[in-house]
Structure 1
Amino acid sequence: MIVANTAGNTLYVASLHLTAVASAVPVGRAFVRQTLGHWNLHDHMDDAALVASELLTNAVEATGFPHPNHPAWQVSAEHVIAVQLRAVDDVLHVEVWDRSAKLPTMRTPAADAEGGRGLHLIEALAERWNVYRPPAGGKVVWAHLALTAPPAPPASVHLPFRRVRGATNPPSGPVAEQASTALMQRVLVGLRESLRPKKDAS
């Protein structure tokens, strides 16, 4: 986890790399809930976990294996996605990286359809959402959630995340490095935005 002071505020960042398989979604959801619990943001766990679930589902569908019974031998170092949480002041940023350049699209599903409502849920829960194209490649789909209070973790910033069993730990390789670089680039963008002088509201 990264902790940095920016213009009098503290920026908290935590990220997790996952294999782009169906089990990545519940693992990512558990990561979000545990991280927010550690940051003492319990009131925002449900909304943030739901947003992360939808973003991770889209990332798995775009670059991996959305069905649980995929052949394990097909998974390679190319199948990496990543979820990142950033909290500063009164904003929580939920961000998911995948290596696909294809943009997510808002669909209007049929009334009896089982899927297709993910972005609608995100739009309903988040203040804003959009796509960031990092120089490292791929895309980061992000959503901003308003916080009622800033993060207040205990004095120790160590966050021992317990992984859920399954094929969720991605192998190392160039795509994992690309994901790490892309997420760090997103953090740097956030730092620049937080350091930018705010316009007078009057």
Structure 2
Amino acid sequence: MATDADRPVARFLAPATVRLPYRPESVAAARRFVTAKFREWSLDDLMDDATVIVSELATNAVKTGCLTRMLVGVRRPSDRVVRILVGDGSRSMPVMVETGPGHTSGRGLAMVHKLTDGRWGVTPLPLGKVIHADLTASAPASR
């Protein structure tokens, strides 16, 4: 019979989700939420990248103009993977665009792509979508 000591530590780290309104100030709330979870999980080395990622994804969700819901979540699918999720009620899929040096916007998904080494994606839902972005933890999850 397997004991708690035989199971990966990440299974003991509870996932967290928060529902936020579609307002610009929700981007800061999403950053605070992710920062708190990363501190709880002792992932300080990933915190800067995580806050940039959630900022970009939450900003995109706010810009959709959808008013149904925005969810921000953090998961540990394994000891080495930390997943940031942002869900919104828009069925419009994100598109990574090429921007020139003079553009002041449009770089968000390119930054997410770079920070995650391309480990991000979109899951369409009947009433919206969830974008996930995975970061690699350097140390196994702690309790």
> Whole-Å Cα distance in 2 between the matches of residues 24 and 109 of structure 1?
26
Map 1:86-125; keep pairs closer than 5 Å: 86-87=75-76, 88-125=78-115
Determine what percentage of the aligned residue pairs are the same residue: 33
Aligned-partner residue type, residue 53 of structure 1: S
AA at the equivalent of 2:124:
R
- Tell me how far 1:150 sits from its aligned partner: 2.5
Match of 2:31 in 1: 29
Root mean square deviation of aligned Cα? 1.7
Structure 2 counterpart of 1:148: 138
For 2:135 and 2:34, locate their aligned partners in 1 and report how far apart those are by CA, in whole Å: 13
Q: Could you report, residue by residue, the CA deviation over 1:133-152 in whole angstroms, capped at 9, with x for unpaired residues?
A: 24x53100111111101232
In structure 1, how many angstroms separate the alpha carbons of the residues matched to 2:102 and 2:24? 22
Q: Aligned with 1:133: secondary structure?
A: strand
- Judging changes above 3 Å, is the alpha-carbon distance between structure 1 residues 62 and 149 closer, same or farther for their aligned structure 2 residues? same
2:43 alignment partner AA? L
Within the candidate set 69, 76, 79, 1:80 is matched to: 69
- SS of equivalent residue, structure 2 residue 99: coil
1:89 partner amino acid: D
What code does the residue aligned with 1:59 have?
Answer: A
Q: How far is the alpha carbon of 1:50 from its aligned partner? A: 0.6
2:128 corresponding residue in structure 1 = 138
Q: Secondary structure at the match of 2:91?
A: coil
Segments of structure 1 that go 5 or more residues without pairing to the other structure are 65-77, 154-202
Q: How far did 1:80 drift?
A: 2.1
State the SS of the aligned residue for 2:52. Answer: helix
Q: What is the TM-score when the length of structure 1 is the normalising length?
A: 0.62
Structure 1 outlier segments of 4+, above 3 Å: none
Q: What per-residue deviation string (whole Å, max 9, x for no partner) do you get for residues 153-192 of structure 1?
A: 4xxxxxxxxxxxxxxxxxxxxxxxxxxxxxxxxxxxxxxx
Counterpart CA distance in 1 for 2:127 and 2:91 is 8
C-alpha separation in 2, matches of 1:121 and 1:55: 10
| Pairing 1:62-77 to 2, within 5 Å after superposition | 62-64=64-66
3-state SS in 2 of match to 1:144:
strand
